[in-house]
Amino acid sequence: MLDIIGKRNWYFFVSLLVIIPGVISLFLYGLKLSVEFTGGSRMTLIFPKEVNEKIVSQVRKAFAEEKVNVYTIQPAKNSVIIRTEPLQKQEDIKILSSLEKEVGKFKQESFETIGPTIGKETTRKAFYSVMIASVLIVLYIALSFRKVPKPASSWRFGITAIIAVLHDVLLLVGIFSLLGHFYNVEIDSLFITALLTIIGFSVHDTIVVFDRIRENLLRVSGVSFEKIVNDSILQTIVRSLNTSLTALLVLFSLLLFGGESIRWFIVALFIGILSGTYSSIFNAAPLLVVWHNWAMKKREKSNTP
């Protein structure tokens, strides 16, 4: 029989191994925030041919002539996404005219401007959304598992579920920090949507395992907590893997045919579901055992005269 709990330290080590590079990147480079968070303008230009270095250089030159600060120019096949300081509509029209003289025919697919104040408000709301979701999840799980037999604690179930979620959030944010630094991938409102979706998915997957642990604790007696948790994981692991695999297959199809505008949103979901499945099986339940064993040793020590 597979002994997941017995090898828990290896799984914790693997988690640290994949999280640490992203955490280092966060400290060194931070996140590349889109105009939705920092304020500014963003436009997408579509060209009749594939964008090469010459076109990028001509685009940069046109903006320089109009004395507009360009933050990033991101080419992708026959399109270019340009991020600049905040521009008014009249300034946009003027720049498009200059661009046409410089690079020839093209089409502006999108243009949006967000002021710095709205950007800060969006950032604040995104942070509050994640924090409130985490607190509500802890309260909900603690309440749902309140009848779990002692010495197990319903609060431990709630908090370890959030630690598993934190694992998924750190991994995803860290990877996007690296992608932002090396490939100019920006964090936008779709990323926050993906993050909240992943939090929900990860907790759902963890609750499936925790629910089986609770059932087995009520049904089985005279068996160690470690064995009950390990048995519960093995009883639910196939269901967890099948659920995740189904979702990943759908995301893979969207990744192939979903288009450029949602590509990184799909990538975020893909990473999050993989991470959420791993953390639910190999982090959340094993952490519950670690905490339980520590609490038992502490109790024994306090009862020893």
d(CA 197, CA 242): 18
- Residue 151, pLDDT score: 67
Quote the pTM value.
0.78
- In this prediction, residue 199 has a pLDDT band, given cuts at 50, 70 and 90, of confident
209 touches 288 (CB < 8 A): no
d(CA 96, CA 88): 12
Length of the chain (residues): 305
pLDDT at 10 over 90: yes
Residue 202, judged by CB atoms within 10 A of its CB (0-12, 13-18, 19+), counts as buried
pLDDT digits (tens, 9 = 90+) for 60-101: 888 888 788 887 787 777 888 888 888 888 888 888 888 888
The residues with which 111 forms a beta bridge, in sequence order, are 43
pLDDT digits (tens, 9 = 90+) for 122-165: 777 777 877 887 788 778 777 777 776 776 677 888 888 888 88
Three state DSSP letters for 68-99: CCEEEEEEECCEEEEEECCCCHHHHHHHHHHH
